[in-house]
Structure 1
């Protein structure tokens, strides 16, 4: 099965650590990162899609971050 996640966080080192942890867990970058101003909270936000191939069957209740 192919799994997809979209990682997002404020524009701090937290975001970089989140993406780095996913890469080290076998996820691969998918597409370009995004960067936008969150006017509701007054901060810049970053996002990055990641994908991973894994054996088994997909189920909507899966915790993707634990795969």
Structure 2
């Protein structure tokens, strides 16, 4: 099965660390990152999709962050 996650976070080093951790755990980048202004907080937000091939079938109870 191919698992998908969308990582999001503020435009700071914590987001870069989140993506780096996912890559270190075997996730691969999927598509280009996104960058947008959040008018509610007045800050910039980042998003990056990642995918990973894993054993087994899809289960909605699956905790993707644990893969």
TM above 0.5, one fold?
yes
For normalisation by structure 1, the TM-score amounts to 0.98
The match for 2:35 is 35
**TM score, norm. by length of structure 2:** 0.98
Separation (CA, whole Å) in 1 of partners of 2:22 and 2:56: 19
- 1:9 is the counterpart of 2:23: no
- Residue ranges of structure 2 left out of the alignment (5+ in a row): none
Mapped partners of 2:41, 2:62: distance in 1:
30
SS in structure 2 opposite 1:18? helix
- The two structures, once aligned, show a CA RMSD in angstroms of 0.4
Structure 1 residue ranges, 4+ long, deviating more than 4 angstroms after superposition: none
**Structure 1, unaligned stretches of length 5 or more?**
none
SS across alignment from 1:40: coil
